[in-house]
Structures are given as structure tokens and as C-alpha cells.
Amino acid sequence: MTTLSTTLARITNKHILARVPTLWLVAFIGFSLLYIALPGLIPSGWRWLFKIVPIALLLFLALTRTEGRVRTLLGLGLVLSAIGDVLLAMDGLFVQGLAAFLLAQVTYTVLFVTQRRWQPRRLPWAALILVYALVCTLVIVPAAGDMQLPVTAYMIAISLMAITAGFRNDQQFLWVAMGALIFMVSDTLIAVGRFVTPFEYSGIAVMGTYYLAQWLICVGIVRHSGRSAGAVT
């Protein structure tokens, strides 16, 4: 009887564990869509909390599916991102939120540098990022007023993050590189809406690209870890 109970327990545990990644993905998509598309369902005082739930789910994945320095850096990058999300959701804390995200970009850059591989054929990627950053700088910085210095510093940080993402040494580099590029697009949309000209559906565009970017970066790193190749696809 004991042997049978033990066997059933093991089977049940394996079955439950096999479901966790699917439940995680459903939860990530569900909470992302809730915050982006159905904000009216969220009490105004709790919007900041619902905003970071998808990032918290990514943090859970990072902490349980990676290890060592990768887990530390990826986890720290996500925590700093969540802090930035909360600060940006509050009035009058834009600079502090920008600083938190700048530190997140630096953390991601350090992570990507530890996984770097020099490949000349990826130089066009660096050129693409530099051209994009230059255009954004020329359009956004002059309109940023007294925020020109912080915005320029952040543009440099996120550009370095995106460049190093394209030189990572693994077959999942495209996931992370695309996530980095989409991250730049998301932050560009924030800057355009704040400093250049407000536009309709900016919140949907910003948060949609932001969640997608963080998902691509996190899942790309997790797949690189090799611990759960089938768990997040």
C-alpha cells in the first residue's frame, strides 16, 4: 500500500509540475491583457499592483528556471523593472522611474556581456540599433526640456543593452535581441507621448510592447539555461 501511495504521489506531482508552465503562460497572458485592454475592471488604487503582476510572473520563471549569475542578474533586472513600473504609475515620480529602468538596462547589459560571442556578421544589428537610437535622440531629446540629460543617459543605456543582446552566444539570441529591440520601441512610445505629441491608444501600445519585450528577454534567457526547453514554448 505504501509503495502504491508513493507511486501515485510521484505521478500526481509530475502531472502537476507538468501543468505549471502552461498555467504560468495563461496567467501571464491573462494579467497582461487585463491591465492593457480591460483597465476598467481594476480599482484605480490597485492599478500599480496589477501592472507588475506579469513582471512578477516572469520573475518567478527566472528564479525557478535559471541558476547562478544568470538567475541573479535576470532576477535583478526584473525587480528593477517592477520598481520602475510602480514609480511611473505614480504622479511626479517619472525621473525616479526612469532611473530604475536605467539600472535595469545596465543589469541586462551585464548579463548579456557575460554570454557574449563576437561575430562580425552581427555588426549590422549594432548598426541598426545605433541608427534607431540616433533618430530617436534627434526627435525626442530637443523636446524633453529639462529632462534632456536623463533622457539622453537612458537612451545610451538601453542602446547598449540592445546591442549586447544581439551578440549573445546561444541559439536563442534572436528571442532576446527581438525583446531588446521591442523594449526600445516601447520606451520610444513613452517618450513620444510624453515629450513630442500625445497619441491615441498610447497606453495599449506602450504596455503591449513592454510586456512582449520582457517576455522575449526572459524566456530567451530561460531557454538558454537549458533547464526547461519545453516548459515555456
Q: Which three cell numbers stand for residue 90?
A: 505614480
Higher pLDDT, 19 or 29: 29
C-alpha distances (whole Å) from 111 to each of 100, 212, 231 are 17, 19, 22
Residues 90-111 have a mean pLDDT of: 96
pLDDT tens digits, residue range 153-182?
Answer: 999 999 999 999 988 876 667 899 999 999
Q: Which three cell numbers stand for residue 1?
A: 500500500
CA 20 to chain centre: 21
Sorted by sequence, the CB contacts under 8 Å of residue 228 that are 6+ apart come out as 21, 65, 222
Work out the percent of the chain whose per-residue pLDDT is above 90. 64
pTM of the full structure: 0.85
Lowest pLDDT segment from 28-37, 111-120, 195-204: 111-120
pLDDT tens digits, residue range 35-64?
Answer: 998 877 777 788 889 999 999 999 999 999
Backbone angles phi, psi at 116, to 5 degrees: -75, 155
What local confidence, expressed as pLDDT, does residue 229 receive? 42
For residue 146, give the DSSP letter: G
* CB 219 within 8 Å of CB 24: no
What local confidence, expressed as pLDDT, does residue 6 receive? 54
* CB 42 within 8 Å of CB 34: yes
